[in-house]
Structure 1
Amino acid sequence: MDLEALRIAALGFVETHRAWTPLIAGTLAFCESIAFLSLLVPATVILIGIGAMIGAADLPFWPVVAAAAVGAAAGDWLSYEFGRAYGEGAKRLWPMRRYPAMVAKGETFLRRWGAAAVAVGRFFGPARAVVPLIAGMFGVARPAFQAANVLSALVWAFVLLAPGAGLLAWFQD
């Protein structure tokens, strides 16, 4: 199944089962935020589509944003804890071992910005799932990590879903 077919199927499922939209958005955001799984799940495109469906299908906006934020924060937390548990050994696992330059950039970014790198990294594709893993490997303090994680997850979910929901509603008026 190609990515376009997956996107169409996922959005069709959301349209059919509207009550499940928050759960679906949260699950997609969770998958998008896990270090290894994010490479396999085209969640960002589907979430943007869900944002457009919010406006078109009169779905409740804030529950979907909250669910996506919870999913994203939980995925980053899992990546962080994985990094803490495996330490430097995580670099030897797929896909980290295949992209040493990306890992090195993530390490440099994290050394420079600390926990703030988690918040900033959430908004940049491949870094979204790698930075929390590296933060765990480097032993960034949990409270600082979680503060950056949760706050950036809320902003990320809003920024991802609001344009589709708001712009579509605006065009319909």
Structure 2
Amino acid sequence: MNLETITNAVLEFIRVHQSYAPLIVGLMTFGESFALISLILPMITILVAVGFALAAADVPFWQVWLGAAAGAFVSAWMSYELGFKVKKRAYGIWPLSRNPDMIERGEFFFQRFGPWAMFLGRFFGPTRAVLPLIAGIFMMPRVLFQAANMASASVWAFVLFAPGAGLAHSLLW
């Protein structure tokens, strides 16, 4: 079995099951953006590769983008609500209890940029998952949080998957 055979098998599998693509991508971006999961299981590189594979299998970009944005939006919302509910007790929960410098950086970033921290933080590794939790702990108004959350999830998902989709189309067509 050579690489071309494996690649064709994977692409055919994706084509046959493409109706599940938005759900699977949504679950992956949920995991990448949720406060505790993303620190244990970072998936950003896998998501870029998945974007390329989905584009190569002719899965419509808008479906992948919508699934990714929805997963990122819901996970940040849940992280915010978790922070709002448990307040500073969240800092004592593993793995945050073992990474106090990450929390300090997140707090500084959030205090400096306010609601823009939510938008900008989506694009920076560990802060993507920690800032919604901190926004809840600091009781950022829900309307401001959700506006920043929806806008950043939409833009982040596009930025995450568009390069792979564009590369797949330029290489394969």
Secondary structure of 2:94's aligned partner: coil
Q: Is the 8 A contact 2:18 2:59 kept in 1?
A: yes
Q: Is the 8 A contact 1:11 1:49 kept in 2?
A: no
* 1:100-146 Cα deviation digits (max 9, x unpaired): 11101100110011111011011001111001100100011100000
The match for 2:98 is 98
> For 1:126 and 1:12, how far apart are their aligned partners in 2?
34
Identical columns (%): 49
The match for 2:6 is none
The match for 1:158 is 158
The match for 2:168 is 168
What TM-score do the two structures reach when normalised by structure 2?
Answer: 0.89
What TM-score do the two structures reach when normalised by structure 1?
Answer: 0.89
Q: Is the 8 A contact 1:28 1:47 kept in 2?
A: yes
Deviation at 1:31, TM superposition (A): 1.1
Secondary structure of 1:42's aligned partner: coil
The match for 1:84 is 84
Secondary structure of 2:87's aligned partner: helix
Q: Is the 8 A contact 1:11 1:46 kept in 2?
A: no
The match for 2:17 is 17
44-53 vs 23-32, greater mean Cα deviation = 44-53
Please list every run of 5 or more consecutive structure 1 residues that lacks an aligned counterpart in the other structure.
Answer: 1-9
* 1:9-56 Cα deviation digits (max 9, x unpaired): x99975662221110001111111110011233322222112101321
Q: Is the 8 A contact 2:14 2:57 kept in 1?
A: no
Taking a change above 3 Å as real, the CA distance of residues 48 and 15 of structure 1, as seen in their structure-2 partners, is: farther
Q: Over alpha carbons, which structure has the higher Rg?
A: 2
List 4+ stretches of structure 1 deviating above 3 A: 10-16
